[in-house]
Amino acid sequence: MAAATCSYCSGQAVYLREHEGVSFCSGCFREAVEERFRKTVIKYHMLEFDDHIAVAVSGGKDSLTLLRLLVKLEGRFPRSRLTAVCVDEGIEGYRSEALELAGAACAKLGVKRLVVSYRELFGATTDEIAKMKLGQTPCSYCGVFRRKAINKAAEMVGATKIATGHNLDDEAQTVLLNMMHGDPLRIVRSGPVLKDPRGKFLPRIKPLCDIPEKEIVLYAYLTGIEFQSVACPHGHEALRNDVRSFLNQMELKHPGSKFTLLRSAEKLRASMGRDIQLSELHACVKCGDPTPHELCEACVMLEAVAA
Ligand code: SF4
Ligand code: ZN
Ligand code: ZN
C-alpha cells in the first residue's frame, strides 16, 4: 500500500516503490519513470545523435509508453528520427483494436508509421496457423514471424535501430526461462542492447528494461495513454505464465528480486560475453535473410505451414 505522502515533495502519494522504500505523488512518479528511462538509454549507449529508430508498436501499454518516452527524448536529439512499425498478425477480435489504438497514438504524437501483416509477408495469419494444429503452439510461430516482420518493416523505412518495449518483468522472466530451457548461453547473448558483431542484423534496444511492469501500467494510466488490455486468445505460454507468477510472488516477499536477477545476468555477460563464439551466417536459400543454417527459422516454419 502507498504511504500517505510523497518522499520528494510531501504531496499525496500514489505509489510506493518498495525495493527502494520511497513513495511518489503522481507528478514525482512520472518524473521518476522518465528519469529511469533516460538513465537506461545513457547507461547502455542506446542512442546515437543521428539514429533513425523503428519503434515496434503493438498498441499495448509497453510499446505505447516507449513511443511516448522516445518522442519526449527525441527533442534532445534534433537529427534523430522515429518511425513506428506495427505488425498485424491476423488475430480476430484482438489485433485490430490494438492497431487502431497504435494509429491514434502515432497521430497524436506526430509519428509516422508503417503497418505490415503476416498475410502479405507470409501468406497466412496467426489465426489460420492456430487452426492447423502443427504441433508447436501458435506463439512459437507468431514470435518467430513477428521478429522477421519487424526486421523487414525496419528495413523498409530505412531505420538504423529497432526499439522494443520489453520491461523489467519480461526480461527477468526470459532469464529464468532460458535456464529452464537449458539454454544459459542465450542469457549471455541477449541483453538491453543486441548488436550483431557480424553486422547482419539491425541493432535492437530495450529502453524499458529497468522499469517494472506495474510502473509502466501506472505511468500509462497517469499520462492518459490508451492501450489495449485484452489478452491474445492464443497466448497460453504455460511455462512463462508459471515463471511470471513465481517471480511476482518472489517480488512480493523479497522486493527487488527481479532487479537482482537482471543484474546477475549482466554480470554473466560481463564475465563471459567475449568468450561466446558466434556461428557464421549465410544467406537463407529461400528468403536471403542471414542464418547459420541453410534455411532461416521462419522459412523452416513456413514450410510446415505450407505443407
Ligand atoms: Fe502471437 Fe502468442 Fe503474442 Fe498472441 S500471445 S500475439 S499468438 S505471440
Ligand atoms: Zn511528489
Ligand atoms: Zn528464410
Per residue in 151-185, pLDDT tens? 999 999 999 999 999 999 999 999 999 999 999 88
Contact in structure between 138 and 90 (CB atoms under 8 Å)? no
Atom from ligand 1 closest to the CA of residue 143: 8
> 58 CB less than 6 Å from ligand 1?
no
> 235 CB less than 6 Å from ligand 1?
yes
C-alpha cell at 93: 477480435
Could you report the per-residue pLDDT of 33-57, keeping only the tens digit for each? Answer: 999 999 999 999 999 989 999 999 9
> Which one of the ligands is nearest to 237 CA?
1
> Which one of the ligands is nearest to 130 CA?
1
pLDDT band, residue 275 (cuts 50/70/90): low
pLDDT band, residue 274 (cuts 50/70/90): low
> 126 CB less than 6 Å from ligand 1?
yes
Choice among 9-23, 101-115, 154-168, 194-208 with the minimum mean pLDDT:
194-208
Dihedral sign of CA atoms 47, 99, 122, 139 in order: positive
Dihedral sign of CA atoms 190, 136, 149, 219 in order: negative
> 142 CB less than 6 Å from ligand 1?
yes
For strands 22-24 and 52-56, give the pairing.
unpaired
Contact in structure between 207 and 53 (CB atoms under 8 Å)? no
Bridge partners of residue 205, in order along the sequence: 163, 193
pLDDT for residue 59: 96
For 116-122, what is the mean pLDDT?
Answer: 96
What percent of the chain has pLDDT above 70? 98
C-alpha cell at 246: 513465481
Choice among 240-249, 273-282, 289-298 with the minimum mean pLDDT:
273-282
CA of 50 to the centre of ligand 1 (A): 33
pLDDT for residue 2: 47
For 254-266, what is the mean pLDDT?
Answer: 96
CA-proximal residue: ligand 1, atom 8 (nearest) = 139
